[in-house]
Amino acid sequence: LGYEISYLSDEKISILFNGTFNFGTAVKQIVKSKNYDLKSGKEITFNNFFDKSSAAQKKLSILLQNAAKEQQKIDFEAEGKELYFKASNAVILYYPLDDSVIYPIHLYLPVEEIRDIINR
């Protein structure tokens, strides 16, 4: 198991953990993230980072669908969404709903474009 600090500022830190595991006859890559608000000490997750209002969730859904099509040429269908930060992006990490997928998908959303749907 390895790790990478993908983002560090006065406000937050984002750490990615990488490894592999056997899944039947296949070897899969696993990536997990941990993010912390350095001022409050609280963990930042996909579930608590975005505003829960219906308008914000609708915009997030559209952004994720567009990012999946533009960046990966696939539809956005995910299980176990995680979040990490890299440069000026919030990165959504997930596995598609397909057991044959070995590597997780990483979708980059510029923080400037999602400021209005982030919890403050």
Q: Residue 97: pLDDT above 80?
A: yes
Q: What is the mean pLDDT of residues 15-43?
A: 91
**Confidence class for position 28, pLDDT limits 50, 70, 90:** confident
What amino acid is encoded at 32 in this protein? K
Question: Cβ-count burial of 92 within 10 angstroms (0-12 exposed, 13-18 middle, 19+ buried)?
Answer: buried
**Confidence class for position 93, pLDDT limits 50, 70, 90:** very high
Instruction: Quote the pLDDT of residue 21.
Output: 83
Q: Residue 24: pLDDT above 80?
A: no
Q: Residue 88: pLDDT above 80?
A: yes
Q: Is the pTM higher than 0.75?
A: yes
Q: What is the mean pLDDT of residues 80-106?
A: 91
Instruction: Quote the pLDDT of residue 29.
Output: 86
Question: Cβ-count burial of 51 within 10 angstroms (0-12 exposed, 13-18 middle, 19+ buried)?
Answer: middle
